[in-house]
Amino acid sequence: LDNKDVQLRGAGTDKGSRVRVFGRVHRYRQQKGLVFITLRDGYGFMQCILQGDLAKSYDAITLQRESSMEIVGELAQVPEGAHAPDNRELHADYFKVLFKAPGGDDAITNKVQAKGDAQTLLDLRHLTLRGEVASNVMFVRDAVEFAFHQVYREVRCRKVSPPALVQTQVEGGATLFKFDYYGEQAFLTQSSQLYLETVLPSMGDVYCIEKSFRAEKSLTRRHLSEYTHVEAELDYITFDDLLVHLEEVMCRVIEITMSDPKIAAIIKELNPEFQMPQRPFMRMKYSEAIDWLVEHNIPNEEDQPHKFGDDIAEAAERRMTDIINRPIFLTHFPVEIKAFYMQKDKEDRRVTESVDCLMPGVGEIVGGSMRMDDYDELMAAYEREGIDPKPYYWYTDQRRYGSSPHGGYGLGLERFLAWLCKQHTVRDCCLYPRYMGRCTP
Ligand code: 4AD
Ligand code: MG
């Protein structure tokens, strides 16, 4: 061996050198006395060619896709007009099948993946993840998650890890997962927001990337029971500061993600029309959205024209976003349809300093707001929402021990990816999706 074992993405590896590679058989074909194997190792692909006696051997002839192999040989340039990953191939002089696969596992190929029924494919997620589209989305996810950490460093947010087992709700009782905690009732967290707020005085601006849980009792293409929540909380800011920060974070994350040529190529393949969003994002007040929906004859959930105070349901929201076809900051939602903790607008007390960021193809990917910073107002909000303030004493104390104007947001990582990678559903944007009716594999 000229050099060490080579990972298959080693595009720079010198042609002519003798190397050893390990991986699984991604593709396999016999042609004119040769065996062509595309080997995959999670870093890339390499075309390996067996010829002569090697190609005639029993193991070569009976090889099945997904078998695990070791191959040794000489790296060569592919001939003019031929195609191979990274424009190179390995002319093998030795190979060994380390572990055989049974074959017949068509579900794991991309071709069948497109045709297979969704539930079977999800039952076989541990195998379908090996397919090119599924794994490409996971590569982008890895890059995006890392980029968020990098960007939060740039904007001087510190990372914290709030608890997942809690005794307070954030986004309404209807979607709480409840469980018995040593004889007391507890919940899986819906959002780390309240905890992030409590550390502002000690740590300054903070963020976390943690799991959030929602017992969503409907099946949609953008709701999971367990999802990855990117949340940040900023101290001594105005509502406008919050929007500018959010634009900056999202755009920087995309820039950093795209600066890796391999990831940029994947995104281009998954989402050929992708364009970097233009800043500033469009700003649209909730009341303007209601007018827009009326003008465009998009009805509310009762099939009536939208009116002030209506929830803008998923279908209407997505139609609006698709027609406008650019990121939208939808702001100033009415108090009644938003969470208890949201700060009211100084000029118009009917509405909150709240924002949803809407993206074409998905709709809402971010929800955020300024937080109620006044003690009495917060107590009144608990009462209005029928929330017992007792378990919230630690949250309320924030308003007693030196309150501040502050705000933050939560971004659904799977929704962000569904938009960036143009995936029909968030279920394809996480390893093993959880939603009503599925908790396996
Ligand atoms: O709008 P939401 O419910 O806001 C909050 O939880 C705030 N407490 C966050 C904060 O201010 N720190 O959720 C925020 C985002 C949504 O915009 C959406 O992208 C995602 O979380 N999300 C979901 N993603 C997948 N499946 C679900 N069931 C989701 N619920 C919310
Ligand atoms: Mg929301």
Q: Residue 228: which of 199, 203, 192, 202 has the closest Cα? A: 192
**Whether residue 83 sits in one domain with residue 209:** no
CA of 223 to the centre of ligand 2 (A): 11
* Chain segment 321-355, per-residue pLDDT in tens: 999 999 999 999 999 999 999 999 999 999 999 99
- Rounded Cα gap, residues 416 and 145, in angstroms: 11
Residues 183 and 74 occupy one common structural domain? no
Does 222 share its domain with 77? no
Please indicate, yes or no, if residue 418 is contained in any of the structural domains: yes
Is the per-residue pLDDT at 98 higher than 80?
Answer: yes
Same domain, 98 and 138: no
Whether residue 316 is found in the same domain as residue 419: yes
Residue nearest to atom 30 of ligand 1 (CA): 223
Q: What is the pLDDT of residue 3?
A: 43
Burial (CB count within 10 angstroms: exposed 0-12, middle 13-18, buried 19+), residue 71: buried
For residue 337, how far is the Cα from the chain centroid? 26
The predicted-structure confidence for 356-408, as pLDDT tens digits, reads as follows 999 999 999 999 999 999 999 999 999 999 999 999 999 999 999 999 999 99
Best mutation site among 177, 192, 217, 227 for ligand 1 pocket (most ligand atoms within 8 Å of CB): 227
Instruction: For residue range 69-85, list pLDDT tens digits in order.
Output: 999 999 988 888 888 88
**Nearest residue CA, atom 27 of ligand 1?**
223
Q: Is the CB of 368 under 6 A from ligand 1?
A: yes
**Residue 306 shares a structural domain with residue 263:** yes
CA of 364 to the centre of ligand 2 (A): 7
Euclidean distance between CA atoms 238 and 204, whole angstroms: 15
Q: Is 317 in the pocket of ligand 1 (CB under 6 A)?
A: no
Of the candidates 54, 69, 104, which is a domain's last residue?
Answer: 104
Q: Assess whether pLDDT exceeds 80 at residue 429.
A: yes
**Which one is predicted more confidently, 38 or 12?**
38
CA–CA dist 250, 382 (Å, integer): 32
Q: Name the token pair of 109.
A: 């190929």
Whether residue 427 is predicted with pLDDT greater than 50 in this model: the reply is yes
Cα 325 from Cα 344, distance rounded (Å): 29
| 3-state SS class at 230 | strand
For residue 357, the ligand closest to its alpha carbon is: 1
Kindly state whether residue 8 falls inside one of the protein's structural domains. no
Best probe residue, ligand 1, of 214, 395, 413 (max atoms within 8 Å of C-beta): 214
- The pTM of the full predicted model, rounded to 2 decimals, is 0.94
Ligand 1, atom 22, lies closest to the CA of: 412
Cα–Cα distance measured from residue 365 to residue 356, given in angstroms and rounded to the nearest whole number: 7
Residue 19 has pLDDT above 80, yes or no: yes
Q: What is the mean pLDDT of residues 25-29?
A: 94
Segments in 284-426 forming alpha helices (H): 286-295, 314-324, 375-385, 393-400, 413-420
pLDDT tens per residue, range 178-217: 999 999 999 999 999 999 999 999 999 999 999 999 999 9
Number of domains observed in the structure of the chain: 2
Mean pLDDT of the chain: 93
Domain contains 13: no
Q: Same domain, yes or no, for 72 and 146?
A: no
Which residues constitute the domain of residue 67?
18-104
- Atom 2 in ligand 1: which residue has the minimum CA distance? 367
* pLDDT value for 106: 59
Ligand 1 atom with the smallest distance to the CA of 170 is 8
Query: CA–CA distance from 393 to each of 340, 375, 399, 401 (Å)?
Result: 15, 11, 10, 12
Q: Which amino acid makes up residue 382? A: Y
Q: Is the minimum distance from the CB of 433 to ligand 1 under 6 angstroms?
A: no
Distance (Å, whole) CA 175 – CA 271:
32
Residues 329 and 241 in one domain: yes
Report if residue 94 sits inside a domain.
yes
**The ligand 1 atom nearest the CA atom of 416:** 19
Same domain, 68 and 151: no
CA–CA–CA angle 26, 87, 420 (5° rounding)? 65
CATH number of the domain to which 71 belongs: 2.40.50.140
**4 within a domain of the structure (yes/no):** no
pLDDT per position as a tens digit, 215-243: 999 899 999 999 999 999 999 999 999 99
pLDDT of residue 258: 97
- Give the model's confidence band at 87: pLDDT under 50 very low, under 70 low, under 90 confident, else very high: confident
Check if 216 has its Cβ closer than 6 Å to any atom of ligand 1: yes
Same structural domain, 76 and 135 = no
